[in-house]
Structure 1
Amino acid sequence: MSEGKARLPPRWFIRSAWTVHRGIFRASGGRMGLSQPKPGRYGLMRLTVTGRRSGQPRSVILGYFEDRANLVTLAMNGWGDPEPAWWLNLLATPDAEVELRGGKRAVRGRAAAGDERARLWARWAEIDHNLDLFAARRSRPTAVVVLEPRDG
């Protein structure tokens, strides 16, 4: 990519891909649609948060990598400018659940800050070499979200 911003597919295409991915996950009973991270590749997890207005469970499939016992993702909304709803929900109610290829896990979400954010952002940049170009599309910094294990 040259100067400026990285090129993305149209927003309608990104949203359609998300819908198809969730449909595959549901239709397969969760057997398809999730993956474990591998060297140089992120994995896919299903995060379920509590809706900040509805109080109902809301699920989304996100890319992640592991940082010791924590899972790390980005609040990027397909690199669109608005904050993703799941992130706003997680800010309101940090306790959530993730479903991984190997099972479910109770987590508590928070934004990484300072040196931790810089370290985790650099790890994402090793996976996605266009990370900074994609992030430049947004008017605000993209939150690096840490999902820490919790009891129960």
Structure 2
Amino acid sequence: MAVKDSPTSWVNKHIQKYVETNGAEGHEWRPGVHTLLLTTKGRKSGELRRTALIYQPDGSGNYVVVASQGGKPQHPSWYLNLSEDPVVDVQVAADKFQARARTAGPDERDQLWKLMNEVWPAYSDYQKKTDREIPVVVLEPISG
């Protein structure tokens, strides 16, 4: 099944560079800011959808991303897709694997939110722009 990349022009270009170079270009988006590619299954269309997201490893083999959408009032589509199918495809640089996505629970969210704000301080500004609590998502690689 063909993958549909983000309809946002600059994100789409970023993804294409990432894919074409197997992560050699695009993994480091800005100095010290790394991105991964996340592919979800569309909850309505069933189509595969890919986007690029800032991430941080959590220190236990998992990867953390934030469903900020720049502080918009609604969750991003990729996050909504996880409610229907939490099994996702991930690419971190040249490493490709499946993972199970879950929203960080209250006991771990604060720590992971701080971790993500260290690499991208704008998340705090995004949270001030919306009434929704911006989800922090943990991507747990699936062994096998």
CA distance in 1, matches of 2:111, 2:39: 26
**What code does the residue aligned with 1:66 have?**
P
**Equivalent position of 2:11 in the other structure:** 18
Corresponding residue for residue 5 of structure 1: none
Deviation sequence 1:115-141 (CA, Å, 0-9, x none): 200110111222233432221112201
Q: Which amino acid aligns with 1:58?
A: R
Distance in 2 between the 1:109 and 1:89 partners? Answer: 10
Residue 57 (str. 1) matches residue 57 (str. 2): no
Hey, what does 2:90 align to over in structure 1? 98
- Tell me the matched-pair count: 135
2:113 is aligned to 121
* Matches of 2:95 and 2:139, distance apart in 1: 15
Runs of 4+ residues over 6 Å off in structure 1:
none
Aligned residue among 123, 131, 134 for 2:123? 131
Partner of 1:144: 136
TM-score, scaled relative to structure 1: 0.78
Code of the residue aligned with 1:56 in structure 2: it is E
Secondary structure of the residue aligned to 1:54 is coil
**Counterparts of 1:26-105 in structure 2 under 5 Å?**
26=19, 28-30=20-22, 31-35=24-28, 41-67=32-58, 68-105=60-97
**Aligned AA (1:49):** T
SS in 2 for 1:55: coil
Contact 1:110 1:146 survives alignment (8 Å):
yes
Structure of larger gyration radius: 1
Q: 1:147 to 1:51 in 2, by over 3 A?
A: same
What is the CA–CA distance in structure 2 between the aligned matches of 1:105 and 1:21, rounded to whole Å? Answer: 20
Contact 1:35 1:100 (8 Å CA) reproduced: no
Q: Kindly state the Cα deviation for residue 92 of structure 1 after the two structures are TM-superposed.
A: 1.1
Separation (CA, whole Å) in 2 of partners of 1:146 and 1:73: 7
What TM-score do you get using the length of structure 2 for normalisation? 0.82
**8 A Cα contact 2:68 2:126, kept in partner:** no
Give unpaired runs (5+ residues) of structure 1: 1-14
Letter in 1 for 2:55: Y
